[in-house]
A and B are shown apart, each in its own frame.
Chain A
Amino acid sequence: MAAQPEPDAGQEAAFAVATPAAARRERILLVVAAVALVLLVVVPLTSTDQAQSAGLPLLVDRYWFRVATIVAMFVVISAAWNLIGGLAGYPAFGNVVYFGIGAYAVALLVTRYHWSFAAALAGSVVAPAAFAGLIGVPLLRLRGHYFAVASLGVAVAVGEVINNLDYFGGASGIFMPIVRSDLLFYYLMLGAALLAVAITWVVLRTRFGYGLIAIREDESAAAVMGVNTTVYKIAAYALSAALTGLAGGIYAQWNVFVNQDVAFNIDVSIDSILMALIGGIGTIWGPVLGAVVLEFLIQTFSGRGDLAVVTQIGLGLLLTVAVIFLPRGVVDFLGGRSSLTLAYVRRTLRSSGV
């Protein structure tokens, strides 16, 4: 680490970056992100009828919309997980349960109670948050393995219960009225993804974020410093549940069909954690990067039969390799804090290995 130049005492802002080089890199990244965002919002409009009749080239097709929407969805889920798993240090393995609750909330509210989709989306945010607030009280008293597996157990158990009860359509699930619009769901998911990233950004700038990180680094020290650890953990958990539920709610209408396999798929949880890991746990852009990279990989290689199986093997190997060699994720390199050299890898292995 190069020696830091002595900054003016008390003058620099609270979140001053360590070096001018890193600040420059951050600015470049922000510009890139802004440009990408504009493109993501504007380019798909070329597929509308108006644009087509005006003679604009068709830059995106149905396949592109599908992949982009799923990528956006995973940005939401991964960023949401990042709040409880990355910032607070409580890696929940069953967050997909909130995806499922959100999805079923929308499905039930629309089909059985005839709410509008928009109103039902509010339910897909509130219901998971309420459930998380409730179950978080006993759950977040657990630490380490106990918490991780217990949270996994919640997902498995809730999925099972829903699968068995007729109120939820049982094993045959619930069919929703068909709404055909690639553009609508794309923008909805994109909006949710932006919301998730924005929330992460805000959290990291405020007392809430510092409290969560303090809890992650040393919970007992955080407590004696004055952090109300119980409330903060539950709040982070409920927030991550709300965002995940929103993704589930949008997905339910987009997919038109929900059942246990669709809505409570543990792979979703694991994939989202892997994305945060590859991108960089606890960072703002980590989940975004990870979601984009991983989901594109998955979508490219997914297929029927043997190809699907081989893809899963590849995913498992990727997970293993990432955990061993890149536990801090890729964002570390982009931020300039380290570079992917042999020395870096060796240091990582030495500190984690036997």
Chain B
Amino acid sequence: MNWGEQVVLGLLLGGVYVAVGLGFSLVWGVLNIVNLAYGAMVMIGGYVTWLLFTHTGIDPFLGIPVNVVVLFAIGYALQYVVVNRVVRAPFLYTFLITFGLDLVIVNALLLIFKPDFRSVTTWYSGAALSVGPILVPYIRLWSLLVAWALAAVMWWILNRTRTGDAIQAVGSDRDAAQLVGVSLSRTYALTFGLGAACAGVAGALIATYQAITPTAGEPYTLQAFVVVILGGLGRVSATVVGGMLFGLVQVLAQSAPHLGAGYQNAIAFGVLVLVLLLRPQGLLGRAV
């Protein structure tokens, strides 16, 4: 593989990381919750896509609205019923509770779907666009476009709607938001639901090129964390930058001598350490 191909593939992979990062960043930035069940939610998204595809033949990209609705509902319910009980406790407890949720979700998936790998293979799965000497797989290209569209939609929701105003108000000053009549429990649930919906979209994208299994979501939680730290917490644009850059880093690092696909977590962690040591607020984030 030559450099050009790697850069392109890195950027394409970056699209997936943008989708992965958006939901994680929203929940962390507004609710101060690091959702350890995030990877599992991504997998739920993958399974929704797979189910739709194998039982009704609906194309994975076209089925994304279903992912959004299903995951939003799940996220909303989880926050409203469970996570809302500990939002004001020390962060250790939200951390532990999301880990508990992760255990429940992953193992529920194992119970229902068994550990077998499932894949979604469409008629265009192998097809690619020729851009000069570089082959750009259609799936990756569309994933990138969907991810950017998702980012745009999220930006629009957060900055141009009343719901977004409520979410941002709660994120910056909880008490003031309550004073003007914002319902904390519902806004929290809404935020978590939106985050879950993003995870659902990410799951759909991942299912198009990767075989899914209940435990395959775990690396995505750590990687979402790194994407957000890399780009900076608090803004959609920051997550976009973080995601694209992280995709690039993963592809380039894995092609280095002595490294490889088995090192994806180590690479993610290496990026994390570097960023935290050199620029803790991330590339685009506000100063810590």
Contact = CB atoms under 8 A, between A and B. Distances in A.
A–B contact at 8 Å CB threshold (below)? yes
Interface of A: 85, 91, 93, 138, 142, 144-146, 148-150, 152-154, 156-157, 160-161, 163-164, 270, 273-274, 277, 306, 309-310, 312-313, 315-320, 323-324, 327, 349, 351-354
A312 B107 contact: yes
B93 A313 contact: no
Nearest to A93: B95
B265 interface: yes
8 shortest interchain CB distances as A-B pairs: A316-B103, A319-B100, A352-B89, A316-B104, A157-B269, A153-B269, A320-B100, A157-B266
Given A323-B97, A354-B185, 5 more contacts: A148-B92, A152-B222, A320-B97, A320-B104, A354-B188
B263 interface: yes
Given A313-B103, A316-B104, A160 B265 contact: yes
Contact of A150 (B88, B101, B108, B273): B273
A46 to B, nearest CB: 38
A227 B86 CA distance: 31
Given A149-B34, A156-B222, A352-B93, A324 B86 contact: yes
16 contacts: A91-B95, A138-B273, A148-B92, A156-B269, A157-B265, A160-B264, A161-B263, A270-B99, A306-B111, A309-B107, A310-B107, A313-B103, A313-B104, A320-B100, A354-B185, A354-B188
Contacts of A152: 222
Given A309-B107, A313-B107, A324-B82, A160 B97 contact: no
B230 interface: no
Contacts of A352: 85-89, 93
Given A149-B34, A310-B107, A354 B84 contact: yes
Contact of B276 (A146, A312, A318): A146
Which of B87, B99, B101, B270 counts the most chain A CB atoms within 10 A?
B99
A270 B270 CA distance: 23
Interface string B106-136: 1110110000000000000000000000000
Nearest to B184: A354
Contacts of A313: 103-104, 107-108, 111
Contacts of A145: 28, 32, 34, 91, 95
Binding site secondary structure of chain B: helix
A323 B96 contact: yes
Contacts of B280: 146
A154 B269 contact: yes
Given A149-B34, A352-B93, A160 B266 contact: yes
Nearest to B106: A312
B68 interface: no
Nearest to B99: A270
Nearest to A267: B103
A298 to B, nearest CB: 12
A95 to B, nearest CB: 14
Nearest to B267: A157
A327 B188 contact: no
Interface residues of B, number: 48
Contacts of A316: 99-105, 107
B173 to A, nearest CB: 15
Q: Identify which of A150, A309, A313, A354 gathers the most chain B CB atoms within 10 Å of its CB.
A: A354
A148 B97 CA distance: 14
Nearest to B88: A352
B222 A149 contact: yes
Contacts of A146: 229, 276, 280
B225 interface: yes
A353 B91 CA distance: 12
A163 B262 contact: yes
Interface in B54-68: none
Contacts of A277: 96
Given A145-B28, A270-B99, A320-B100, A161 B266 contact: yes
A96 to B, nearest CB: 14
A153 B222 contact: yes
A306 B89 CA distance: 34
A309 B272 contact: no
Given A323-B93, A324-B86, A317 B111 contact: no
A317 B104 contact: yes
A353 B84 contact: yes
Contacts of A150: 272-273, 276
Contact of B85 (A91, A163, A349): A349
A266 B188 CA distance: 29
A153 B102 CA distance: 17
B169 to A, nearest CB: 15
A164 B254 CA distance: 13
A354 B85 CA distance: 6
B277 A138 contact: yes
B103 A351 contact: no
B254 to A, nearest CB: 12
A306 B268 CA distance: 33
A316 B28 CA distance: 22
A152 B273 CA distance: 12
